């Protein structure tokens, strides 16, 4: 929504509070009965709601189980990188713009002849580099899928190459005549909203891995699947949740608030209540009694902000690092509402751990 639409939504709840008969009237989860690939489903949820569903505890898993009739995508997918030999190495040599996980289908890594890396579909047949404890690198010119290459290296040598530093990268670069597999692959589960997996409910023998990098829920149990398969899916709607529980756009008055709100917004830049009015920045929530000393003046601008880059950047979003930036008020973003009913506690949209969706925290100035 635009900033003023978001403001209206947040405020509306306050005046309409007496007529809302049940909080269950507004859905937090939205079950979409349209077959889509995982990334199509993700785009749909991000456009129409907030994101694909993240499931943080057993209660949420049960809610979604009760909602869906068939296998349905949830927001879980494989991201983050590991080396085939299981050892840790932070060195990366990504080409510009990589990794981009194009088509949500690029889970293995190739080195090009110029020495830079890209993520690439594991099913492509490419030459590859094995590692052997004694003679170091072996370039195998035969085209194989990443998994076939891994098996070949493990049978005949030690493993696919782990490239741990620039010197090793240069040695391998000098050896290859085509883009070649190295040992890096995606193997960490993440939620679509950017949060890590802290709760899981896998079906027996799942996840199987290989090329299966996206997750469906069926009868409350999770299965990894090819991301290109089409399933119904479950979106998460922060707007609905906001409307249920909040009275105004969020006011941010301390660094502690920033941390908490950052947990809420995940990977989504979101409107907060700050806006530019005549000649100063003010909060949407203007009742002075809500603010302790100095709290209404707290700011957390990102470096160089507000820069009014497009002119008329009179509304404020909080980005993923908790920093603020001025935006055109007509842009559409998710938003964070604030519950002004309780002096010390308020509910946030979602939290980043597996305790409870209704994460409470003390906000020092609310009544």
Q: Which residues bind Ca ion (CB under 5 A)?
A: 100, 102, 106, 118-119, 208, 212, 223-224
Whose Cβ is closer to Ca ion: residue 118's or residue 195's? Answer: 118
Whose Cβ is closer to Ca ion: residue 224's or residue 313's? Answer: 224
In whole angstroms, what is the distance from residue 229 CA to residue 90 CA? 32
Q: What is the nearest approach in angstroms of Ca ion to the Cβ of residue 205?
A: 8
Whose Cβ is closer to Ca ion: residue 178's or residue 262's? Answer: 178
* Cβ-based neighbour number of residue 294 at 10 Å: 9
Q: What is the nearest approach in angstroms of Ca ion to the Cβ of residue 97?
A: 8
Q: What is the nearest approach in angstroms of Ca ion to the Cβ of residue 99?
A: 6
Whose Cβ is closer to Ca ion: residue 52's or residue 261's? Answer: 52
In whole angstroms, what is the distance from residue 80 CA to residue 107 CA? 9
Contacts of residue 105, defined as CB under 8 A and 6 or more positions apart, other chains included, come to 121, 213, 227, 228
Which contiguous run of DSSP H or E holds residue 155?
Answer: helix 146-156
Whose Cβ is closer to Ca ion: residue 62's or residue 208's? Answer: 208
CB 254 within 8 A of CB 298: yes
Whose Cβ is closer to Ca ion: residue 203's or residue 301's? Answer: 203
| Tokens encoding 42 | 């993700």
Whose Cβ is closer to Ca ion: residue 41's or residue 336's? Answer: 41
Q: What is the nearest approach in angstroms of Ca ion to the Cβ of residue 298?
A: 41
Q: What is the nearest approach in angstroms of Ca ion to the Cβ of residue 32?
A: 22
Whose Cβ is closer to Ca ion: residue 159's or residue 224's? Answer: 224
Indicate the Cα dihedral angle 67, 68, 72, 75, nearest 10°.
10
- Count Cα atoms within 13 angstroms, Cβ side, for 299: 15
In whole angstroms, what is the distance from residue 272 CA to residue 25 CA? 25
Q: What is the nearest approach in angstroms of Ca ion to the Cβ of residue 118?
A: 5
Whose Cβ is closer to Ca ion: residue 205's or residue 280's? Answer: 205
Whose Cβ is closer to Ca ion: residue 208's or residue 256's? Answer: 208
Q: What is the nearest approach in angstroms of Ca ion to the Cβ of residue 215?
A: 9
Strands 231-236, 72-83: parallel, antiparallel or unpaired by DSSP? Answer: parallel
Phi-psi region of 97 (alpha: psi -120 to 50; beta: other; left: phi over 0): left
Cα 313 to chain centroid, rounded: 26
Q: What is the nearest approach in angstroms of Ca ion to the Cβ of residue 210?
A: 8
In the chain, which ranges are E strands?
29-36, 51-52, 72-83, 108-111, 117-120, 126-132, 136-144, 159-160, 180-191, 214-218, 221-225, 231-236, 248-249, 270-277, 280-283, 315-318, 324-327, 337-338, 345-347, 360-362
- Count Cα atoms within 13 angstroms, Cβ side, for 360: 5
Q: What is the nearest approach in angstroms of Ca ion to the Cβ of residue 227?
A: 12
In whole angstroms, what is the distance from residue 146 CA to residue 9 CA? 50
Q: What is the nearest approach in angstroms of Ca ion to the Cβ of residue 163?
A: 17
């Amino acid at each position: 929504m635009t900033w003023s639409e978001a403001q209206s939504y947040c405020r509306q709840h306050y005046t309409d509070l007496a007529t809302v008969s049940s909080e269950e009237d507004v859905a937090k989860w939205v079950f979409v009965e349209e077959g889509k690939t995982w990334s199509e489903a993700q785009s749909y949820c991000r456009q129409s709601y907030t994101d694909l569903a993240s499931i943080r505890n057993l209660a949420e898993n049960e809610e979604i189980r009760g909602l869906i009739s068939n296998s349905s995508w949830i927001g879980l997918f494989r991201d983050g990188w590991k080396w085939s030999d299981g050892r840790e190495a932070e060195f990366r040599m990504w080409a510009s713009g990589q990794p981009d996980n194009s088509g949500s289908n690029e889970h293995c890594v190739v080195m090009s002849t110029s020495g830079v890396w890209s993520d690439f579909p594991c099913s492509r047949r490419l030459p590859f580099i094995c590692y052997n404890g004694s003679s170091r690198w072996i370039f195998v010119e035969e085209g194989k899928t990443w998994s076939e290459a891994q098996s070949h290296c493990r049978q005949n040598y030690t493993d696919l190459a782990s490239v741990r530093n620039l010197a090793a990268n240069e040695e391998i670069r000098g050896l290859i005549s085509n883009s070649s597999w190295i040992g890096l692959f995606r193997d960490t589960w993440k939620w679509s909203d950017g949060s890590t997996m802290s709760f899981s409910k896998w079906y027996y023998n799942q996840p199987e891995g290989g090329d299966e990098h996206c997750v469906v829920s069926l009868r409350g149990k999770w299965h990894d699947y090819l991301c290109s398969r089409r399933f119904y899916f479950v979106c998460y709607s922060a707007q609905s949740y906001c409307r249920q529980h909040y009275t105004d756009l969020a006011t941010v008055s301390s660094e502690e608030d920033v941390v908490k709100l950052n947990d809420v917004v995940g990977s989504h830049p979101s409107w907060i209540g700050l806006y530019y009015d005549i000649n100063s920045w003010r909060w949407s929530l203007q009742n002075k009694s809500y603010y302790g000393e100095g709290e209404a003046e707290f700011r957390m601008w990102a470096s160089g902000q507000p820069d009014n880059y497009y002119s008329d950047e009179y509304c404020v979003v909080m980005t993923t690092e908790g920093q603020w930036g001025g935006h055109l008020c007509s842009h559409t973003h998710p938003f964070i509402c604030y519950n002004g009913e309780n002096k010390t506690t308020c509910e946030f949209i979602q939290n980043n751990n597996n305790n409870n969706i209704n994460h409470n925290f003390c906000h020092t100035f609310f009544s």
